Every structure is written in C-alpha cells, then in structure tokens.
A and B are shown apart, each in its own frame.
Chain A
Amino acid sequence: MSELRRTSLFPLYAGYPAVRCIDFGGWELPVQFHGILQEHDAVRKQAGLFDVSHMGEFWVTGQYAETFLQRMTTNDVSRLSAGQAQYTLMCYPNGGVVDDLLVYKLSQDQYLLVVNASNIDKDFAWLSENLIGDVVLENRSEQTALLALQGPMAARILARVTAEQIGKLAPFHFLHQAEVCGRKALVSRTGYTGEDGFELYLDSGDAPHVWRELLRAGEADGLIPTGLGARDTLRFEAKLPLYGQELSKDITPLEAGLGMFVKLGKDGGFIGREALERQKEEGLPRKLVGIELLDRGIPRSHYPVFADGRQIGEVTTGTQSPTLKRNLGLALLETAYAELGTEVEVEIRGKQLRAVVIKAPFYKKTQTTGEGAKP
C-alpha cells in the first residue's frame, strides 16, 4: 500500500472532531466535516467551502494551443474569449471518454485545463502523445490548490475578502490575477453543486490562509467546510456527471446526455468525432436517465436494472436525495427503456424492486446569480 497523498489543507482538518477522511483515488480527503446531510443543506441554503486541491491543473501554452485543444476536446474552444471557461470532454477515437474537464482561456496562446484527480497521469500522457507544433504542456497540479465556495451566499461572502467585482462575474467567466484574502488567485464562477459559486485556484502554500479567512468571513452567513460526501450528493441531484460512474472509456458523451458539449460541426474536427457522428446517425444504444424507486430501497452504483425479464442497464449513481428525500438514481439504460414513465426493476440485494424513469436533473436552483441571495 502506497502512502496516501494529502492536500496543503490537511493539517487544518484535525480541528473538526467529526471529520472523517477516506482514500479517494490515492488521496486522503475529508468525506465529511460535520455530517453529509448538514453540509449538503448548507450548500443549498447558505454556503459551503470544499477543498478540491486533488484536482489536476495543466497549463497549455503556444501559438498552436487553440488548434491543439480543438483537436483534443469535443466543445468549441474557438468560441472562448480570454477570461472565459468551458466544460468539455476528451474522447478516444471510438468515442469513449478519456475525461471531462474545464478549459480556461487566459490568452490566445495560453489555456488552463482542470481535470479529474484520478485521471491526472492518464490525461497528461494522452495530451502529451498528441502534442503539436510549439505547444508546451505543463502539469502544475502539485503546486495548485483549489477551493470551491458554493451556495446562494457565496458571492456575498467572497465580496468581503476581495476588492474585485466578483458579483458581476458571469457564470463560466473568471478573473486571472485576482487578489483574495491578500493572496493571488484565479477566481471563476464555476462549481459542481448545482448552486451559484466560485472556484479559487491558488498556490498551495496560500490555501490554508485563504481557507481560514473565508470561513471567518462567511460564518455569519452559515458558511461551513464541506466534504466530498456532500459534493457527490449535490452534483448527483444536479445531474452533473462523475467520471468513473456516468462517464468512462466505455460510455460516450452522447449516451451520457452531454451532446450540447459535443460540437460535431466545428472546424478541423476532434479525436472521436467520426465515431460520435456515426453513433448520432445510427441512434444511441443507451441513454442516461433519472430513476426513482417505487418500492422501498435505495439504488446504488452498479446495481443492475431489468425490464421484460432481462438486464437493460445499470445504475451509475444513486442515493436518497438529501434535498428531496426521495430514493433516486442515474442509470444508463437501453434507449427503448429511457422514455419518461417507463417502469423498470432495480435489483437490490437479490430482490427486484420497482422503479420508474423520471426527469433529471432532480434539482435546479431557483435563485438567480448576482450579489447574493436575500436571506
């Protein structure tokens, strides 16, 4: 067993008696600080602060950076202005997913890619194999910390510790050289919770200071530290995919319902385009849908789903939705069974329990982004 890696914030976790850390892809990370339900609720109603420093950050520099990223990713990088970010995917030639990621455009010849922690090595190798022209790829994951401040109070809290006009930052826009709590940060209006919020990229040495100052600044508004457990239930309710569950080398972005991030018609094409175009023409074999258990039970990842006496798919993620208190799942099902209202069965511990295909996302925020929600 190799030693677990820790983020620069690890020493601060000891201050929380109920903190529980788990091995998350080789990292020792907090699954909860207080309790998953309380943390989930705080992000939906007030605000939560996540340490997601395990995520990977690659810098892509060079005159051909845009051309390179156009070829490597499914979304259209040419639509980005400097100061804008986009959600996108990298695919293999067969259309299966290498990873999902964010691309930040700093300038015409410099981009930041943010990738999943468990895929850092694989992604770096994949990008390196396909480098073109003068493009330089640098892995700065080790030096970079990432804090996510999420929830309806996030903008109001962040405004207290920075002079920047962060309230005016539109979703998927960012400030490159912002100052937050007296430290340099890249601040973007992005997140993985289905709420308004910000992500702060910092030098890892600065992260403990910013973490403490943010918690202090947000205390009156109910800001609490939040762990990966709540991050998972929050992203699940908002139907934001998790690589390894909703996405993998065996699942295409189209099957996962991410067609709006796949620009088949963009100039120059991209790796995987032909396969995805073919899949679109021939019709998708499977679709990612929401399901709700009608019988008593909670669907979980990899539980098989049946209909007409045979297996027609499996659950990718499932839990009892903390916001809705309903037993819900995302499931990848044969297309014939993906219509809303279709009855299926989920096998749970040897029993076939009734479930129905329902609309997902299960949760959409109602508050608008801006200066912060009214209390």
Chain B
Amino acid sequence: MSEVREHLAYSEEHEWAEAVEGQIVRIGITDYAQSLLGDIVFVEFPEPGTSVSAGESMGSIESVKTVSELYSPVTGKVLKVNGLLLDQPELVNGEPYEGGWIVEVEVEGSVEEAFGKLLSAEKYKAIIG
C-alpha cells in the first residue's frame, strides 16, 4: 500500500507539493509513482531560474526500463534542485517525500491559490485506489 501524506497537495500526474515558506513550494513524486517506476537511475532537472507551468513537463525521471515526464504541479520559477539526486537517484525510491524531493519552485501568486487547483490527500488516495 502506497503512502500518502496528509499535509501535502497532489497532482493527477502523481507529483506532491509542500509549502515550505512564503511562496516557496517543494516538489517531488509520490510513493505510488516511485513504486510504479521501479528502480530510479536518473533525474533530469529543470535549470534553476526556468519558468515552469502547472501541468507542463519540466524534466524527466528514468528507471532502468522507462522514461517518465516530470510535470510541474504549480506555475512559477525554479529556485533550486536536489543535487543529491545526481549521485543518489535511488533516494526518490527510498524517501519520496523527504530526501527524494526534486525541485523547489517560487510560485506565481499565493501558495493557497496554487494548491487550490491540486488534490487533497484524500482525493489523491481515491485516484490511486
């Protein structure tokens, strides 16, 4: 059974977003997503400073067998990426909600507004069954 954390916001593409402070949001992929992908061996990040749009691709995640798009759940500007994943992409499998976070984005407008368009933990649970 995949873990879904209560305090996070979720996208239908299986990303999570967490309010860090101010307009800053941390983004990763869900436990469900990592379990579907299997052993993750590579993360292609967006460059810091890049503008990203909710629902659009901002990078990719590759397991041994497959390549998956990484979609941004929010609109804004990339502030930083999790450099640890360069050498330890398996953190996305092992700790999808902690050490395996992928990028931090400064959202356009308020975090409340951005999260309003995303799913609650309860709704996300319903999607993944």
Q: A residues engaging B (CB < 8 A)?
A: 20, 31-32, 35-37, 40, 229, 232-233, 296-298, 300, 319-320, 322, 327, 349
Taking CB atoms, residues of chain A closer than 8 Å to B62 are 298, 320
Stretch of B4-12, B35-43, B106-114, B118-126 that contacts chain A: B35-43
Interface of B is mostly: strand
Closest chain-B Cβ to A355's Cβ sits at a distance in Å of 15
Interface of A is mostly: mixed
User: Closest residue to B57 on the A side, CB-wise?
Assistant: A349
Taking CB atoms, residues of chain B closer than 8 Å to A40 are 64
User: Closest residue to B93 on the A side, CB-wise?
Assistant: A35
Taking CB atoms, residues of chain B closer than 8 Å to A36 are 38-39, 63-65
Closest chain-A Cβ to B47's Cβ sits at a distance in Å of 12
Q: B residues engaging A (CB < 8 A)?
A: 38-39, 41-42, 44, 60, 62-65, 67
Taking CB atoms, residues of chain B closer than 8 Å to A319 are 41, 64-65
A/B pair count, beta carbons within 8 Å: 38
Whether the Cβ atoms of A300 and B38 lie closer than 8 Å is: no
Taking CB atoms, residues of chain B closer than 8 Å to A296 are 42, 44
Whether the Cβ atoms of B39 and A298 lie closer than 8 Å is: no
Whether the Cβ atoms of A229 and B60 lie closer than 8 Å is: no
* Extra A-B contacts (19), CB below 8 Å, given A233-B64, A319-B64: A35-B38, A36-B64, A36-B65, A37-B39, A37-B64, A40-B64, A229-B38, A296-B44, A297-B42, A297-B44, A298-B41, A298-B42, A298-B62, A300-B67, A319-B65, A320-B41, A320-B42, A349-B44, A349-B60
Closest chain-A Cβ to B16's Cβ sits at a distance in Å of 22
Closest chain-B Cβ to A277's Cβ sits at a distance in Å of 39
Taking CB atoms, residues of chain A closer than 8 Å to B64 are 36-37, 40, 229, 233, 319-320, 322
